[in-house]
Copies of this chain bind each other. A is one copy, B any other.
Amino acid sequence: MGKHHKKLLNNLEQLRMSAGLTQEKLSESAGVSRVSINAIENGVYVPSTVLALKIARTLNCTVEEVFQLPQ
């Protein structure tokens, strides 16, 4: 249903679970609220580059592995 934006795709849920982390743990590691992680994971909004780098670092990934431009 006209879900969310399409400016940015992500593999966050999959990578986060592979790392054995909850949204809350990831949010603590990234220094943001759990609500923010949830919103990013569900495509509600696009994170800042600082947050993308912190998330990727926590997940031992590159930013490009976590987030992709559409098409």
Contacts and interface: CB of A to CB of B under 8 A. Distances in A.
Nearest to A69: B53
A35 interface: no
Contacts of A48: 46-49
Q: How large is the interface on A (under 10, 10 to 19, 20 to 34, 35 or more residues)?
A: 10 to 19
A69 B29 CA distance: 14
A28 interface: no
A59 to B, nearest CB: 13
16 contacts: A7-B50, A46-B48, A46-B50, A48-B48, A49-B52, A49-B63, A49-B67, A50-B69, A53-B63, A53-B67, A53-B68, A54-B69, A56-B64, A62-B62, A63-B63, A63-B64
